[in-house]
Amino acid sequence: MISEMSPIDRAKFVAAKRAADLVEDGMRVGLGTGSTAVWLVRCLGEMVRERGLKFRGVPTSTRTAELAREVGIEVISLDEARWLDLTIDGADEFDGEQNLIKGGGGALLQEKIVATASDQMVVIADVGKEVEALGTFPLPVEVIPFGWQTTQALIEEMLVSMDVLGRQSSLRMNGSAPFMTDEGNHILDLHLGRIGNPRQMALTLNQIPGIVENGLFIDICDIVVIGYGDGRVELRDINEGTVEHDRLELDETENLFSDLAD
């Protein structure tokens, strides 16, 4: 039930529910990956079942694809869609310029491809994800398995010349084995503390051999929908320069989402 949710879960839920209202009949929509995106997919599934909403979704991971099919959303590939009207996804951090760190769920490559193949990217997040400067959340970097330790050494050498607080990196693990992305790659998490120049960091990282993609999303997000635990929602449109405020009335008897975990 809604009343049993933590404040963070309520904030994620209202952000996802408000963003779901941006989806219209006939759209091709990118569906993100992660805990907040799960709320979005469930909300959209409810709209498909209860309101007859008709759209096609392009998931950014196998996990999202499985959930989308489960709740009744028509799933297609990006190659089938070719171009998207909208992508809605979460973020691990966002700053005042709506630059993002993504990849905590390990799907940053597909997420970035889908987001950049969209007319608009909408980010949904609880208010705690907003930061003055990116970098508190470890920056994910997807690397090919071949020579990953050499790639890691090159990254750490490069970081000496960057405006960051820390230069440590770690291989993301899944139990006792390295975490594997949907593309069969590894992820290095960079513990930087603060990234003084995210744009420079993103460009420099992708020049290092062995790196597939990094989790800095620069100039990609158009709208951020910020949820609060009391039901308030803030919608910031960086292109229009507008900020909208809303409050969603929460149905305390609602239990459709009670099985979701963070």
Summarize the annotated binding site as residue ranges: 33-36, 89-92, 102-105, 129
234 within 8 A of 129, measured Cβ to Cβ: no
**Binding site as annotated, residues for substrate:** 33-36, 89-92, 102-105, 129
One-letter amino acid for residue 81 of the chain: A
Catalytic residues: 111
DSSP SS3 for 171: strand
Task: Work out the angle at residue 224's Cα, subtended by the Cα atoms of residues 9 and 11, and round it to the nearest 5 degrees.
Answer: 15
Distance CA 73, CA 117 (A): 20
- List own/partner pairs for 2-8 with CB under 8 A and 24 or more apart: 2/250, 2/251, 2/252, 2/253, 2/254, 3/252, 4/258, 6/229, 7/229, 7/230, 8/126, 8/128, 8/229, 8/262
| DSSP per-residue letters across 12-70 | HHHHHHHHHTT--TT-EEEE--SHHHHHHHHHHHHHHHHH----EEEESSHHHHHHHHH
Distance (Å, whole) CA 188 – CA 102: 13
